[in-house]
Amino acid sequence: MVQAVVIGAGPAGLMAAEELTNVGHSVIVADAKPSVARKFLMAGKSGLNLTKDEPFETLIQSYDEAADWLHPMVADWDAQAVQEWARGLGQTLFTGSTGRVFPTAMKASPLLRAWLARLGQADVEIRTRWRWIGWDGNALKFDTPEGPQTLTTDVTVLAMGGASWARLGSDGLWSEVLAGMGVALTPFAPANAGVLVDWSDYIKPHFGAPVKGVALQAGSLRTRGEAVISARGLEGGGIYTICKVVRQGSSLTFDLMPDVTQDEIAARLSKSRGKASLSNHLRKVLKLGPTRAALLMEFGRPIPDSPQALAQMIKSLPVRHAGLRPMDEAISTAGGVPRTAVDDGLMLKSLPGVFCAGEMLDWEAPTGGYLLTACLATGRWAGRSAANWLQTNTAL
Residue range 192-201: average pLDDT? Answer: 96
Instruction: For residues 334 and 31, give the distance between their C-alpha atoms in angstroms, rounded to a whole number.
Output: 22
Instruction: For residues 28 and 99, give the distance between their C-alpha atoms in angstroms, rounded to a whole number.
Output: 36
* pLDDT digit string, tens, across residues 246-264: 999 999 999 999 999 999 9
State whether 12 and 71 are in the same domain: yes
Instruction: Work out how many domains the chain is built from and give that number.
Output: 2
State whether 145 and 91 are in the same domain: yes
Instruction: Please list, residue by residue across 278-317, b when 16 or more beta carbons sit within 10 angstroms of its beta carbon and e when fewer do.
Output: eeebbeebbebeebbbbbbbbbbeeeeeebeebbebbbeb
Among the ranges given (69-78, 188-197, 288-297), the one the predictor scored with the smallest mean pLDDT: 288-297
State whether 386 and 310 are in the same domain: no
Instruction: Calculate the alpha carbon distances from 205 to 211, 278, 281, 299 in Å.
Output: 14, 19, 21, 16
Q: How confident is the model at residue 346 (pLDDT cuts 50, 70, 90)?
A: very high
- pLDDT, residue 390, reads 93
CA angle 301, 309, 241 (to 5 degrees): 70
The DSSP H or E segment spanning 309 is helix 307-315
State whether 172 and 24 are in the same domain: yes
The answer to whether position 360 is within a domain reads: yes
Q: Is the pLDDT of residue 396 over 80?
A: no
Residue range 237-252: average pLDDT? Answer: 94
Query: Of 318, 345, 373, which closes a domain?
Result: 318
Query: Of 318, 350, 368, which closes a domain?
Result: 318
Instruction: For residues 193 and 375, give the distance between their C-alpha atoms in angstroms, rounded to a whole number.
Output: 19
State whether 356 and 234 are in the same domain: no
State whether 172 and 131 are in the same domain: yes
* pLDDT digit string, tens, across residues 288-301: 889 999 999 999 98
Query: Residue 223, exposed/middle/buried by CB under 10 A (0-12, 13-18, 19+)?
Result: middle
Question: Which 3 state secondary structure label does DSSP give 25?
Answer: coil
The identity of residue 319, as a single letter, is V
Query: Residue 161, exposed/middle/buried by CB under 10 A (0-12, 13-18, 19+)?
Result: buried
Instruction: For residues 377 and 385, give the distance between their C-alpha atoms in angstroms, rounded to a whole number.
Output: 12
The answer to whether position 233 is within a domain reads: yes
State whether 76 and 157 are in the same domain: yes
* pLDDT digit string, tens, across residues 303-335: 898 999 999 999 999 999 999 999 999 999 999
State whether 114 and 216 are in the same domain: no
The DSSP H or E segment spanning 191 is strand 186-191
**Spatial contact of 174 and 32, defined as CB atoms under 8 Å apart:** no
Query: Residue 89, exposed/middle/buried by CB under 10 A (0-12, 13-18, 19+)?
Result: middle
State whether 221 and 258 are in the same domain: yes
State whether 269 and 306 are in the same domain: yes
State whether 33 and 141 are in the same domain: yes
State whether 231 and 162 are in the same domain: no
- pLDDT, residue 283, reads 80
The answer to whether position 326 is within a domain reads: no
The answer to whether position 328 is within a domain reads: no
**Spatial contact of 257 and 265, defined as CB atoms under 8 Å apart:** yes
The answer to whether position 139 is within a domain reads: yes
Instruction: For residues 273 and 296, give the distance between their C-alpha atoms in angstroms, rounded to a whole number.
Output: 18
Residue range 3-16: average pLDDT? Answer: 97
Query: Of 254, 287, 318, which closes a domain?
Result: 318
Question: Which 3 state secondary structure label does DSSP give 42?
Answer: helix
**CATH number where 67 lies:** 3.50.50.60
Q: Is this structure's pTM higher than 0.95?
A: no
Which range of residues forms the domain containing residue 209? 195-318
The answer to whether position 327 is within a domain reads: no
The answer to whether position 174 is within a domain reads: yes
The identity of residue 86, as a single letter, is A
